[in-house]
Amino acid sequence: MAVVNPDVAEKFLDSNPAFAKQYYDSKFRPAVIAKLLSSRKTEVDFSSFHDLNSVEESEIMFDLIRDIHENLQMEKSIFNLMKNLSFLLRADRMSLFMYRMRNGTAELATRIFNVHKDAVLEECLVQPDSEIVYPLDTGIVGHVATSKRTVNVPDVTQNSYFSDFVDQLTDYKTKSILATPILNGKDMVAVMMAVNKIGAPHFDAKDEQTLMKYLNFANLILRVFHLSYLHNCETRRGQVLLWSASKVFEELTDIERQFHKALYTVRAFLNCDRYSVGLLDMTKTKEFFDLWPILMGEVAPYDGPKTPDGREIIFYKVIDYILHGKEDIKVIPNPPADHWALVSGLPTYVAENGLICNIMNAAADDFFEFQKEPLDESGWMIKNVLSMPIVNKKEEIVGVATFYNRKDGKPFDDMDETLMESLTQFLGWSVLNTDTYDRMNKLENRKDIFQDMVLYHVKCRKDEIQNILKTKEVYGREPHECEEDELFEILEEELPDSEESEIFEFHFCDFDHSELELVKCGIAMYYELGVVDKFHIPQEALVRFMYSVSKGYRKITYHNWRHGFNVGQTMFSLLMTGDLKRYFTDLEAMAMVTAGFCHDIDHRGTNNLYQMKSGNPLAKLHGSSILERHHLEFGKTLLRDEDLNIYQNLNRRQHDHVIHLMDIAIIATDLALYFKKRAMFQKIVDQSKTYESWTEWTDYMKLETTRKEIVMAMMMTACDLSAIAKPWEIQSKVALSVAAEFWEQGDLERTVLEQNPIPMMDRNKADDLPKLQCGFIDFVCSFVYKEFSRFHTEITPMLERLLNNRKEWKALQEIHEAKVAKIEEEKKKKEEQAAAAAAAKEGKGRGPWGPEGERSRNGIVCLLRMKHLSQNPGGRVYQGYSTGGQFGWLAQFQRSS
């Protein structure tokens, strides 16, 4: 093989560049790249400035890539880049200014300063307390950050943006500048600046190209750092909000415990050495006894700073969280003004103005007087501070949170402000929880006070119980000092005879009894049911309970104690006389009779619809069956009192059962629910007819809880409507009482609600009462008593009286309608006579409307009636249609003509 001369080979390769590239790529390039990547140090000579060949520049490139790959510290990577750039550009100095927001103002701060080709990182890295800060309206770097464009200044003395305050600080002379912005998309990140070209008067276009070429590395490094920092901040922020939320909702009792739990839990994510929270006094107005010394001139009025809503700035507590060294928490109630957390005036300033304050160098700050000596034995000192208000949903400042010394030594930046602001904002909003809890507590306490007031006036007094339990008269002792046998002896004398008082009868009439006698009759029913001894009801409690129930009813026209008693008595008679007790236990019978007595307690004389229309608090408290739920709660309130609780000796299961039955029974009196249960009750009645033996049917029903509840609910309806099934002499009087109460509600609707009442509640339509009663019987009542009579024939007397009462009301309705018809007929005759007289006077000889027989007369009558209608307040004519009155036929006449 012939030896190839190097010159020949070189000529061949120059003549065949494609082959040369292919040969290099296949034989040498992988090894070269591997060597460059594996090399720990570039072989470029930086001892003196010289032009670099392509291999040396490639080594620098690979060195930068390797540095990015191995080094995660932003400052070190950027420093290596700037060190190489200072050699490539032959710049005397290079600096990096980081863009940031502080206190809502954008600024540039030195991060890496005075980098040259032989520089060391530790000498160029700027410590937080040595930063040089440029506002964006100062210097060439501020201009670059504002314009976001590269600037090449050959002579700084000829540039209006140049500021020499850094030269004065560093005793340096700036001649020329090459500066460029570093952006993350459109967002400003930093400004890199090269100063004073070595070996030339200024930087040229080639230097600009070199800078822009290597700027991609700076962009990449800063972007990775920025995204990593943002990710870290958002992670911290999410953790702060998550953990603080978990603690905020754990503690609702008071703001101090809530803040303390939340702030202590998130301490690891706040990235600071120490933080304190000052809680502000929320008092807006002084008590009169505090104002008197001021008004008398004995005490000078307050003239210090105030919050934006006018409160005096008084920190009633400071909570200090120490995270450096050994963790500790200090709570300082009523802190003095010279306490280290307040003495600077920063918390007061924040509370007064509601601003976020970020102090990057506390020692050099001349607006606030921070303590310059160590605060404790550890030697800890205040270096930088971030303070912000805690604002609640009402935009009131409730406290001030102050954070000291970022852990990495840098000042707090805009991301720290965002994170801390999110925390304080969340804490401020969470105050709503404690405020709501406090309001609920106050409402609960107020409710208890009102309940105590109501019970005081409703509850049977010591002197009142002597009207029935005359223990003082008989034994000279109070009822609670007597034995049960002694009380029974007194009651045996005081309570009426059941047969004489007719409490077993459906036709029972309360007219001949006083309200006290009705209380005694009610007590007697419990003895007749046999529940007093069986369930160990204290007889004093029974008397107090019945007496208190009677007092709980208001003195209104119809829904008073008499009505409440009648419903309880009807329930008793349905159980005993109507033989419905066969399906129910003694415990259930007691609950049903008690529900009957309590079913309308504290009735206001107006219905559920009126409560909603008038915006009554009851309507807001109870969404449906408004009054029924109120009656139920009132009854339960009485039973919760130990002196009135007739269920006090029941076991837990028995007590829960009777309360459950009372819930169903009382709410079932809402007529809106009546139509929902009719079909179910009818099916039960039909089912009862399929059994041949009453014993089998009874045994079946005793085990059917749901069916028993439906029967009980329908029994409550039958009891509530029982006045309609009383003898006529009773029913007619009760009906007038019901109507009178309805008319009173109608008057309220006119005066208070400014609405027209429905006919049933309109006293102007009182003559329609018989017709309304017939409709009520047919639409509501008939079904109840027909089905109960079919269910148990013992209840047939109620149906018979209902049908008799309907006949009486129908007769009254017919009499009334006959009178109305007669009046209308007489009125019609007078109108026809007046119309005929007018026609004879005005219509003689007028063409087709003249005296041409019936056609003329009818036409004139029609016109006259139309004229009369236009003057008739009972019926207006609008576009040919009558809206009321007696002349609706005119509209039809107008359309036909």
The secondary structure of 565-625 as a DSSP string is: HHHHHHHHHHHHTS-GGGGS-HHHHHHHHHHHHHTTTT--SS-HHHHHHTT-HHHHH-SSS
Provide mean pLDDT across the span 366-385. 86
Opening angle at CA 700, ends 696 and 706, nearest 5: 155
* 557 — pLDDT class (breaks 50, 70, 90): very high
Give the distance from CA 404 to its chain's centroid: 36
Going from the C-alpha of 311 to that of each of 424, 427, 825, the distances in angstroms are 20, 20, 79
Provide mean pLDDT across the span 386-405. 90
**CA 625 to CA 658: how far, in whole Å?**
20
CB atoms within 10 A of CB 153: 21
Which residue, among 139, 67, 65, has the nearest Cα to 97 in the 3D structure?
Answer: 139
- DSSP code at position 312: B
Which residue, among 259, 381, 260, has the nearest Cα to 324 in the 3D structure?
Answer: 381
**CA 496 to CA 780: how far, in whole Å?**
35
**CA 454 to CA 601: how far, in whole Å?**
13
* 394 — pLDDT class (breaks 50, 70, 90): confident
Point out which residues pair with 94 in neighbouring strands: 115, 194
pLDDT of residue 324: 83
Provide mean pLDDT across the span 226-252. 72
3-state secondary structure of 495: coil
pLDDT of residue 885: 32
- pLDDT tens sequence across 285-309: 888 888 888 888 888 888 889 999 9
Identity at 471, one-letter amino acid code: T
Contact between 564 and 553 under an 8 Å Cβ cutoff? The reply is: yes
pLDDT of residue 778: 95
**CA 461 to CA 549: how far, in whole Å?**
13
Which residue, among 344, 371, 347, has the nearest Cα to 357 in the 3D structure?
Answer: 347
**CA 75 to CA 115: how far, in whole Å?**
12
Is residue 715 over pLDDT 60?
Answer: yes
Percent of the chain clearing pLDDT 70 (strictly above): 86
Contact between 248 and 264 under an 8 Å Cβ cutoff? The reply is: no
3-state secondary structure of 191: strand
pLDDT of residue 219: 79
* 349 — pLDDT class (breaks 50, 70, 90): very high
Between 653 and 447, whose confidence is greater?
653
pLDDT of residue 104: 73
Residue with tokens 């004229």: 867
Going from the C-alpha of 772 to that of each of 724, 769, 776, the distances in angstroms are 13, 5, 6
6-20, 164-178, 525-539: least confident range: 6-20
Identity at 572, one-letter amino acid code: F
Between 645 and 246, whose confidence is greater?
645
Is residue 45 over pLDDT 70?
Answer: no
Provide mean pLDDT across the span 532-561. 95
- pLDDT tens sequence across 731-787: 999 999 999 999 999 999 999 999 999 999 999 999 999 999 999 999 999 999 999
Between 555 and 897, whose confidence is greater?
555
Angle at which helix 17-27 crosses helix 6-15, to 10 degrees, equals 110
Opening angle at CA 407, ends 401 and 409, nearest 5: 110
pLDDT of residue 813: 92
Provide mean pLDDT across the span 589-615. 94
**CA 154 to CA 686: how far, in whole Å?**
110
Which residue, among 282, 358, 281, 284, has the nearest Cα to 318 in the 3D structure?
Answer: 281
Which residue, among 439, 404, 438, 426, has the nearest Cα to 262 in the 3D structure?
Answer: 426
237-251, 392-406, 457-471, 718-732: least confident range: 237-251
* 51 — pLDDT class (breaks 50, 70, 90): low
Residues 6+ apart with CB under 8 A from 563: 553, 600, 723
Between 430 and 446, whose confidence is greater?
446
Q: Classify the C-alpha dihedral 401-407-409-412 as positive or negative.
A: negative
Phi, psi of 192 (to 5 degrees): -105, 135
Q: Classify the C-alpha dihedral 619-622-624-630 as positive or negative.
A: negative
What does R_g of the chain's alpha carbons equal in angstroms?
Answer: 49
**CA 425 to CA 609: how far, in whole Å?**
44
- DSSP code at position 780: I
pLDDT of residue 862: 36
pLDDT of residue 22: 79
Is residue 538 over pLDDT 90?
Answer: yes
- DSSP code at position 408: T
pLDDT of residue 607: 93
pLDDT of residue 793: 95
Going from the C-alpha of 626 to that of each of 502, 612, 623, 670, 858, the distances in angstroms are 34, 9, 7, 9, 58
**CA 578 to CA 789: how far, in whole Å?**
9
Between 893 and 840, whose confidence is greater?
840
**Left if phi > 0, otherwise alpha if psi is -120 to 50, otherwise beta: which for 657?**
alpha
What amino acid positions are annotated as catalytic residues? 559
Is residue 656 over pLDDT 50?
Answer: yes
Is residue 727 over pLDDT 60?
Answer: yes
Is residue 448 over pLDDT 70?
Answer: yes
**CA 860 to CA 855: how far, in whole Å?**
9
Between 394 and 802, whose confidence is greater?
802
**CA 410 to CA 463: how far, in whole Å?**
81
pLDDT of residue 568: 97
Mean pLDDT of the chain: 84
CB atoms within 10 A of CB 34: 10
306-315, 319-328, 552-561, 854-863: least confident range: 854-863
CB atoms within 10 A of CB 83: 21
pLDDT of residue 210: 85
pLDDT of residue 441: 78
